[in-house]
Amino acid sequence: MMYKRYECANCDFYEIAKYDLHKEKCPACGHNYHVFEEDIDEDKYSWLFNTIKNHFYFENFVIRSNSFLFIGNMISDFSKIREIFENIGYYPFIRKKEGKIYLHLFKAKKPGKSRVIIPIALLVATILSVFYAGYSWAVPLKEMGFIDNVWVTSSIFMMGLIFILGSHELAHKITAMKNKVDASWPYFIPMPLFIIGTMGALITIKSPIPDKKAAIKIGLSGPLIGFIASVIVISIGIAISPVVPATEYMRAVETFNATHPGGITIGFGQTLIYRILLDLFLNLPEGYTLVTHPLVVAGIVGVFVTALNLLPMGQLDGGHVARSILGEKYHMLVSKTTALSLIGIGFLGSFLRYPIWPGWILWGFIGYLISSRGHPGAMDEVTELTGEDKILAVIGIIIFILCFTPTPLYVVP
């Protein structure tokens, strides 16, 4: 049987279609196609046609370099189609285009066994490096006489931060399992000698997300639970922070600085949520000041991590939500715009006399790279979202606003 072969002049992408695709350009890179006629032995694909025939009516069949594509309409529910193809080792993805359903079949990679030894080793290393970071926060407080025991204070800092990062990642893991998505155990990232001892934690998703609803739930569960954990940690932190007369505090700080020349003081930019918690839980008598306990710092870091993950870029948590709500094209646009805005915010700091975090520039570049890789999308992007899913997305935006600050940290002059 004669098929049409579309071959890219630039990359190695090709499509071999039963009927004309009316295409001139390669969807992978945008270069022009060369079009030929090619004789295809259809018997070679009878296994595929036999599997699909009672579940999907197709007008056109396309063999692509990395997948098969059927264009037509569904006869069975997508869940049925998914089941029969997963059984023979393919992941089906459906998209709607010009009133027709495009059913893509990708060969499923066998997900490797989730090994727990590396996640556990990373967790132990992160516990140690976060403990050490807590120790560096605790020592000056001890020398100034505001805390009694450095080891206890460092442990509290470590437990607070690991609790926040751990609950964020476990929320992803549990939601993924509920939606039958294969996800790794959390990988904590130790950062020895860094002021917070870690670069956060992440899980990797190893099988496609079934639908847009599941993508929103999996993406948002981490920041939502991590946010709640951060609020708890900050609240306890405020409660256990010593309250001392302001004059005594100033004197202690001056003495400390005089005996430790060359030291730097780190400040944290205020987020809305921190402001709200201070207003709720802090009742300072006139002339008194709060000596921030390192546990508060752990909570502030949790708030920052929440904001970073909610950025609508690539496959970050916020990226999953953006992809479900906005679709492929606008997700890419919003991703790249967010990344460029971060770079802009970072550079703005050099012009304004305001301590904007220069780290945004690096984050913007990283964000642009991950945005360019796009997002594979859920398998079923045809089923529409419900009002409940959209409310979840709005909650995500509200949490982001509560947690974002252009100045997560700065060196106090």
For Zn ion, the binding residues (CB under 5 A) are: 8, 10-11, 13, 26, 28-29, 31, 222, 309, 317
Closest to Zn ion by CB, 225 or 252: 225
C-alpha to C-alpha distance for 100 and 74, rounded to whole angstroms: 9
Q: Residue 304 Cβ, how far from Zn ion at the closest point, in Å?
A: 13
Closest to Zn ion by CB, 34 or 390: 34
How far CA 170 is from CA of 17, 167, 211, 224, 396, in Å, comes to 44, 5, 21, 12, 18
Strand stretches in 204-349, DSSP E:
243-245, 265-267, 288-290
Closest to Zn ion by CB, 28 or 253: 28
Q: Residue 278 Cβ, how far from Zn ion at the closest point, in Å?
A: 26
Q: Residue 130 Cβ, how far from Zn ion at the closest point, in Å?
A: 18
Closest to Zn ion by CB, 85 or 227: 227
C-alpha to C-alpha distance for 132 and 197, rounded to whole angstroms: 7
Short-list 223, 242, 220, 232, CA closest to 159: 232
C-alpha to C-alpha distance for 212 and 377, rounded to whole angstroms: 8
Q: Residue 267 Cβ, how far from Zn ion at the closest point, in Å?
A: 26
Q: Residue 257 Cβ, how far from Zn ion at the closest point, in Å?
A: 38
Q: Residue 208 Cβ, how far from Zn ion at the closest point, in Å?
A: 18
Closest to Zn ion by CB, 8 or 291: 8
How far CA 90 is from CA of 47, 96, 106, 365, 370, in Å, comes to 13, 20, 5, 35, 26
Closest to Zn ion by CB, 10 or 265: 10
Q: Residue 398 Cβ, how far from Zn ion at the closest point, in Å?
A: 17
Maximum C-alpha span of the chain: 90
Short-list 334, 335, 314, CA closest to 377: 314
Q: Are 130 and 189 in contact (CB under 8 A)?
A: no
Closest to Zn ion by CB, 33 or 249: 33
Q: Residue 31 Cβ, how far from Zn ion at the closest point, in Å?
A: 5
Q: Are 390 and 212 in contact (CB under 8 A)?
A: no
Coil, helix or strand at residue 398: helix
Short-list 206, 373, 207, 197, CA closest to 298: 197
Closest to Zn ion by CB, 222 or 367: 222
